[in-house]
A and B are shown apart, each in its own frame.
Chain A
Amino acid sequence: MTEQTETISASECLIRMYDEQHEIEDYQKGVPRWCSGCGDNSILTAVQRLCRDEGLLPEKTVFVSGIGCSSRLPHYMNTYGFHGIHGRALPVAEGVKLARPDLTVFVNTGDGDCCSIGAAHWIHAIRYNMDMTMMLHDNQIYGLTKMQASPTSPLGLKSNTTPHGTYLEALNPLTVTLGVSNVSFVAQVVDWIPEVMYQVLSQAYHHKGFSFVRIIQRCTEWLPKLLDPWLHDRQRVLLLHHENGLEISPALAKSYTKMREHDPSNMNEAREIASAFDPIPVGILYRNDDVPCYEDLRHDSRLRTNSLIQKGLESEFDKFTIWADGNEPA
């Protein structure tokens, strides 16, 4: 009977046995309004599968987003969601996590939402390293507002705001992220290899800390041909694999034969890989499990009782109080 502690009690055992089994439908809500063929669809499918396979409780899961086609994702999840304001998905998500560390937090954002208007929040979110998974739906365009160049648009791309083509080299979200202190998880996937996307998102979810996943996503409406060369030539995708990273299934290894072994703890190599775009490196570039999370550093173990809250408020108010006789009563 005393076959020590790690074993769970009989009642705990029963409770787990009767835990609800979830189906993918339990996480679906509404019909996505994305254009058909849009890469956002496959991202949605991957996260719904992840939620089901991890048995996440819908009421304990939050998807936070900003504004854009990509940011519509929370609408299609039957969990809690917060469709925020442009560029501010991360601060909202950080607030949620700080107040409710028991919730599982996902962030969905676009290249405009994150790398343009929200760039400042992005940098600090990496440094805070709060436990959440961020998906950057990078279609290299402002999709929702009908085709304006974004910071990740390739040099020379003609768009409504750059009729003569863009003048600047594209921003590389991977090298930016890898350059910020406290970075703890960086990965890249493409929307058209579902198996890899699922695996990477799963590892990102299990990583304790801020997991940054850049998803190269096709906007079939505005840039229907942009990624075709990579989509149709499997040699232009480089699979990163390692025992501490992605494990490649035999079936996948047959379709995608271009591979490179890469240890995610090697930052220098991660930066080198991140700098290249052709072939597109896909997999886990960097992982460090030892970076502390902000919510843990700032965790206050005191119970938020009414009296504690009242005491805190009083002491704050007291700072601005003008006492009748000029002195604070003893």
Chain B
Amino acid sequence: MEKQLQHQIAFYLTGRIDKSTLEPVDGRLRPALLSRYADLDSLRYDFPLVLNRLGAPGRAVLSLSRMVDHAVAELGENVDHERVARHGYRIEHALRKALAGGAEDFAALWERTTAALEREDEALHDSAKRLWKAFQASGELVDAGAALPAKAVRHAWSAVQTAKAAAFRYRAERLLLKLKNILAAEEIGSTVGRTPERLQAGVGSSFAGAFDFDAMSRILVAAKPAVELSDERRRRIGNLIGVLERQKFYALETDGAEPYDFAFERCADALDAYRSRHAEAVELVKTLAVAELEAKGEYREAVHDMIFDGFGANGLDAGELAELPDYLVCVDGQTLDAAELARIVELLAAGLPVKILVRTDDVLEPAFVAEGHVTFGLRARQLVNTAIGLHDVFVFQAAASHLFKKKDALMRGLAYHGPALFSVFSGANAHTGQIPAYLVAAAAMESRVFPALVYDPSAGADWASRLDITDNPHPDDDWAVHSFSYEDENLQSQTETIAFTLADFMAMDERFFKNFAVVPKADWSASLIPVAEAFQIESKGLPEKVPAVLLVDDEFRLQRAILSSRAFFEVQRCRSMWHSLQELGGIHNSHAERLLAQERKARAAAAAVETPALPTAGAVEPAAPPDAPASAAAEAAHGDEPYIESERCSSCNECVQLNGEMFAYNENQQAYLKNPDAGTFRQLVEAAEGCQVSVIHPGKPRNPKEPGLEDLLKRAAAFN
């Protein structure tokens, strides 16, 4: 074995670097696939985001570049089209640069940035004005960074709450109006409401002299008795009004009371608030239900008193809780202690209307107990797994870079009737040097260390409908694979397909530099294999190949760096975790695959044996013949008995007026033969003749002694 390869294998096995053949990795190197993002600011992508306060919740989270695109598209085929587009991109670029990972008021930053650009290009003023008008947005402009997850989730949550509050306000104000009108109507119709003074007040001053209000009052009081509510109902309505006006869950227009706050930093505080407000919450939900009935005049004490006496004894259900605001708790995944972790689980498990954001800044945090072991964002991962296991918690996981793309799922989770957990990786940590948080976040998802997932219990009963992992790149594969082009020393263009693995992600992190060693170009050989292909490396004997990642340096020169087996072990762990998530998401399900294999085997065995041909469609038994006609059957069934085809009776009253004892209406107001003995055969025949739709059949006479039977029988024959 050559000396170089010996040193490479030695590094792989021990992590010890031989400086004569290998070089250490430092912050100037980046994964080759990231090289095209070296100057992120000059690219157009969906960040920064505008946390918009105008319009429906669906417009709460906007992307600056999309807004510019839409605004430009709205211009249509216009002479200014090209100029506005060009200026739009320029302003967008400048904004991105100015923001540099931070956050600022959109309008203020726009103002400042465009003012500066206008100094170089006067025409930009008009473009900026048009774009701004088309945006229809106001709020904060935020770039990816440590603050983004909390800002975005909190903003989206508050947009959902604002919409809820508006719906509540409309409902409460409508109910208040109706309830107060009921009380007012009673008063207006009462003796008090008809006193001369009140009548005069109703007419106003101009014509007050024209009427004798005393006489009017006397006449009106005597003419129509007052309509009085029962004391019980009046008191009930008064109470409903009181509860609606005093409630502090939402602000009403007329009400001065400061509503409760629902956003918290700690679960304990949220839980305390929830508990202390519980009785009021029950009372408010009950009040809404009773008030609806009262407003419609449908409250019946005999029934509803009983229902509402026990209201809320079993707690409120998800639908009822959904009428009230949701609690929001934003926590930092890194500093979560065991007690807080337990409380989050408790909150989620109790089905409370709480939305919890767990923000993670570092997914490669070293394990506390074992050297070289990484935690993969342990606490957040633990929470996500537990929450999914709780069955009715909405779970959302995404890297911050993905928040815009996943905003619909985010909004769905916030609007979900029940608890929801949002786990977001910010990408902002001190270990990735100059690499922007956006790229770190995106790389975490790309490398499978922080995969995107949505678990939505409202989407169906099974895993297939609930769990969605399809937003990950190449969700069916082990790794996301990309093609990478570069020029070799002869300036020939080369293209390689490379997978972005956890190893690439680790190579961005200074804490793991020691796990990599750069192999000088002269020593590149077939023994250096891509990480994605290294899983078959001989683990018993001496390996002959070493996994390596492709990096570029600050002068865009391609480098290959091998990694240590310690790092490679983490890559393997990451891949297995991804595999089990894939299985839950319905990809390469091991149970299904095993079944499929069995089935194939069984089929192959069966095919070997001679099988008779399957029966063809023609051989199927013919359908049973349809029933005999109903009327014929009915006639046969009735024999000589008189009868009426009630379904065809047109309710003309003819027969029931002839003899109401003999003919009567059924529950559908159609005639039937109530009692054939309650009248004569003559009446039966006359009814049959009078029946316009001929549905009365007189049958044979029941009394053979009735006079004139011979003639009657002849007449009856036409109807039997």
Could you tell me which A residues sit within 8 Å of B by CB distance? Answer: 1-5, 7-12, 14-15, 18, 23-24, 32, 36-39, 41-42, 44-45, 48-49, 57, 59, 191-195, 218, 220, 231-232, 250-251, 254-255, 301, 303-305
Contact = CB atoms under 8 A, between A and B. Distances in A.
A48 B667 CA distance: 11
B630 A254 contact: yes
Given A9-B320, A15-B304, A37 B652 contact: yes
B289 A12 contact: yes
Contacts of A218: 692
B650 A194 contact: yes
A231 B693 contact: yes
Contacts of A45: 650-651, 668-670
Contacts of B104: none
Given A18-B303, A42-B650, 13 more contacts: A2-B351, A2-B458, A7-B319, A9-B320, A11-B289, A24-B667, A37-B654, A41-B651, A45-B650, A45-B668, A192-B693, A254-B631, A303-B170
18 contacts: A1-B317, A1-B318, A4-B417, A5-B458, A7-B319, A9-B317, A11-B286, A11-B307, A14-B307, A32-B653, A37-B692, A41-B651, A49-B668, A193-B648, A194-B651, A250-B630, A251-B631, A303-B174
Of listed A36, A191, A218, A231, residue having the most chain B CB within 10 A: A36
Nearest to A4: B458
B679 interface: no
B317 A10 contact: yes
Contacts of A192: 648, 650, 692-693
B648 A38 contact: no
Interface string B30-67: 00000000000000000000000000000000000000
B250 to A, nearest CB: 16
Interface of B is mostly: loop
A5 B319 contact: yes
A49 B653 contact: no
B648 A42 contact: no
A18 B300 CA distance: 10
B458 A1 contact: no
B657 to A, nearest CB: 6
Interface residues on B, range: 35 or more
A329 to B, nearest CB: 20
A7 to B, nearest CB: 7
A36 B669 contact: no
A5 B692 contact: no
A4 B173 CA distance: 27
A193 B648 CA distance: 6
Of listed A7, A9, A41, residue having the most chain B CB within 10 A: A9
Nearest to A15: B307
Given A7-B319, A48-B669, A305-B177, A39 B417 contact: no
A32 B669 CA distance: 13
Nearest to B419: A2
Given A2-B417, A12-B289, A254 B657 contact: no
A1 B692 contact: no
Interface in B396-420: 416-419
Contacts of B298: 57
A73 to B, nearest CB: 13
Nearest to A31: B653
Contacts of B283: none
Contacts of A7: 319
A36 B668 contact: no
Of listed B457, B629, B692, residue having the most chain A CB within 10 A: B692
Contacts of B599: none
B434 interface: no
Given A2-B457, A37-B690, A305-B177, A44 B319 contact: no
A258 B65 CA distance: 65
A18 B289 CA distance: 15
A216 to B, nearest CB: 12
A282 B586 CA distance: 53
B686 interface: no
A41 B418 CA distance: 54
List the 6 shortest-distance A-B pairs measured between CB atoms, nearest first. A2-B418, A42-B650, A45-B651, A4-B458, A2-B392, A45-B669
A59 B298 CA distance: 10
A303 B418 contact: no
A182 B536 CA distance: 72
A284 B318 CA distance: 42
A14 B627 CA distance: 43
Contacts of A3: 392
Given A11-B307, A250-B630, A41 B650 contact: yes
Contact of A39 (B297, B631, B650, B690): B650
Nearest to B418: A2
Interface string B268-306: 000000000000000000100100010001100001100
Nearest to A228: B692
B221 interface: no
Given A2-B418, A10-B314, A45-B669, A18 B307 contact: yes
